[in-house]
Amino acid sequence: MLPVELLLAIVQHVDPMGESDQRQVLRTLRATSTVFHALATPRLFSCIYVTNTDSSAHALACILNDPVLTGHAKELVYEDKELRHAHMGSVDATAEDEDAQERTRIALVSAISHLHKATALTALTFIFYPHAYEDPSFAEGALSASPITRLYCTFLRAIATLPAAPPRVTSLTLRNVRPIHIPELGAPGGAFTALLTQLGALHLHICDAPFVPEVIWTFWRTGVRDVLLGAAPQRAPLTALALHCSHHSYMYFTGFGLARMHFPRLRALALSNMYFSSPFLRLEEFILRHAPTLRRLELRSCALLLHPGGLPPARSWAEIYGGFASELGELEELEITHSKHIMDPGNHQAALAALSAVVDARKAQRLLESGQTTVTWGV
């Protein structure tokens, strides 16, 4: 018999959050002996990975109704897999496909309704089906007609209407958020609203969608606003915020703004495909408002919004970066990437280099003072 310490080292070498074959290794180890069963069980169930299949939904229900297994669960990751398409031209196959998807939807919602029992959970990650363009009912405004959209909406409603929020969750990631307003997410006193107030990290990734003005407008002006305001009470613990938009999220069309947003403990901010110089968004002001606490800033493919009539933006990149250099006195980590076709290219490289030099010098000085060699503020 090998020493228990060696067996434990073997178990800890396998990442339960990695590829599916890694989780299968843990399952196999767990089945080999009582010792491995005891050692592998906490590791295997520390991360629960769920997909939109019947078997996965039923497995989740079993875990959430088992107090021992639920006690090991620290992270839950849900991911929409590619929906199975029925054969073209086959009415029977299409009906069978839709029936199967409906059964899966019901099973998932039933399982998720027990999520409040996972009192040890600290992180939730939901990765939804990415392509709203492939949902013809969305472009037609019939938002409840498609199985894709129906699953998305009922899944989030199930989260919002839990009896209570999982009490220890401090990290929430929503990827491929579809531009559909779900009123239950902003309901006062609801589980989702309560969840937002306890978050230390919030990651929102908005996916591309067809241009349906009334839908897009309501989503940004009400849906996204409610989520961000819910995470921004006066004593909010939020320290990391990521807001990523796909190229065709149409946020700039809606008048959505950040003027009322303030996260008093925000240390890391990541933004992508956002528009500076927008009269509504007020993105530069939002960043500078968090100067007393902001340690890390990441901007990817952000752009300047041209004014009507082709007038230049009110502020150039050089002016924006100059303001960051003088005002963001706590910034220690900076990552900025522009798209290939940058608007207002004049002097932006020199200004960005100067900003980077200020940030790097500050980081080096503080590392020297603290005696550390590395520091990271993750978003």
161-165: average pLDDT: 96
pLDDT of amino acid 376: 58
CA-closest candidate to residue 127, choices 55, 200, 203 = 203
Name the pairing type of β-strands 275-276 and 240-245. unpaired
Residue 60: is its pLDDT beyond 80? yes
Architecture of the CATH domain 49-370: Alpha-Beta Horseshoe (3.80)
Sequence spans of domains, the chain = 1-44, 49-370
Burial of 205-215, coded b for 16+ CB within 10 Å and e otherwise, reads bbbbbbebeeb
Spatial separation of the C-alpha atoms in residues 198 and 75, rounded to whole Å: 16
pLDDT of amino acid 128: 93
313 HSE (CA, 13 A, CB side): 22
- What is the distance of C-alpha 207 from the center of its chain? 11
259-270: average pLDDT: 94
DSSP assignment of 82-120 equals PPPPPPTT-HHHHHHHHHHHHHHHHHHHHHHTTGGG-TT
Higher pLDDT pick, 277 / 193:
193
Are residues 54 and 84 in contact, defined by beta-carbon separation less than 8 angstroms? no
Give the confidence band of 27 by pLDDT, cuts at 50, 70, 90.
Answer: confident
277-305 per-position pLDDT tens digit: 778 889 999 999 999 999 999 999 988 87
Residue 180: is its pLDDT beyond 70? yes
Are residues 120 and 74 in contact, defined by beta-carbon separation less than 8 angstroms? yes
Name the pairing type of β-strands 275-276 and 303-304. parallel
Residue 42: is its pLDDT beyond 90? no
141-162 per-position pLDDT tens digit: 555 557 788 889 999 999 999 9
Q: What percent of the chain has pLDDT over 90?
A: 50
Are residues 242 and 379 in contact, defined by beta-carbon separation less than 8 angstroms? yes
68-99 per-position pLDDT tens digit: 999 999 999 999 987 555 444 454 555 567 78
CA angle 287, 288, 289 (to 5 degrees): 90
322-332 per-position pLDDT tens digit: 999 999 999 99
Q: How far apart are the first and last CA of the chain?
A: 44
Spatial separation of the C-alpha atoms in residues 292 and 301, rounded to whole Å: 25
CA-closest candidate to residue 155, choices 17, 271, 56 = 56
308-366 per-position pLDDT tens digit: 666 777 788 999 999 999 999 999 999 999 876 555 555 688 899 999 999 999 999 99
pLDDT of amino acid 91: 46
pLDDT averaged over the chain? 84
Residue 134: is its pLDDT beyond 60? no
pLDDT of amino acid 87: 46
Are residues 259 and 283 in contact, defined by beta-carbon separation less than 8 angstroms? no
CA-closest candidate to residue 187, choices 236, 154, 227 = 227
Give the confidence band of 208 by pLDDT, cuts at 50, 70, 90.
Answer: confident
Q: What percent of the chain has pLDDT over 70?
A: 80
